[in-house]
Amino acid sequence: MDTRDESGLTLLEVLVTVIILSIVAAIAVPSVMGIIQMVREDVCEANREEVAIEYGHHLDLSGESHSDSLFTSFLLEFDVLFPENGFYSFVDGDVICSEHVSHENEEDDSGDNESVPFL
């Protein structure tokens, strides 16, 4: 008379499940981290554009010309959000972030913009 309850999982089934989940996590985590970094760069770019517009309006309304101290006081007065561990500066009419590089004006000289997509 065999009264064993065989409704549970074997050790092998549990190990295979853990290995499969580990492989999926190893693939998904870098992809998600890359997406998060891209979103941070996009938010920073939008913030830089907004700061440049607002600072230009501030200069026009006050009748002053740009100086580093005026830009710094503008940032402090209007509670501008800074990037993580970074700061903004104003150079040649553009707001520059110390953490994120603007990709708007970059051109690829090689002419080969094709790449293998990451799956």
Nearest by Cα to 103 from 42, 35, 40: 42
Q: Are 81 and 47 in contact (CB under 8 A)?
A: yes
Q: Cα separations (Å) of 118 from 27, 29, 30, 76, 112?
A: 10, 13, 11, 41, 17
pLDDT digits 0-9 by tens, 38-74: 998 888 888 889 889 999 999 999 898 888 889 988 8
pLDDT digits 0-9 by tens, 90-110: 888 888 888 877 655 444 444
Residues 18/22/28/34 CA torsion (nearest 10 deg): 150
- Which of 25-39, 75-89, 103-117 shows the lowest per-residue confidence on average (mean pLDDT)? 103-117
Other C-beta atoms closer than 10 Å to the C-beta of 74 total: 18
The whole-model pTM stands at 0.62
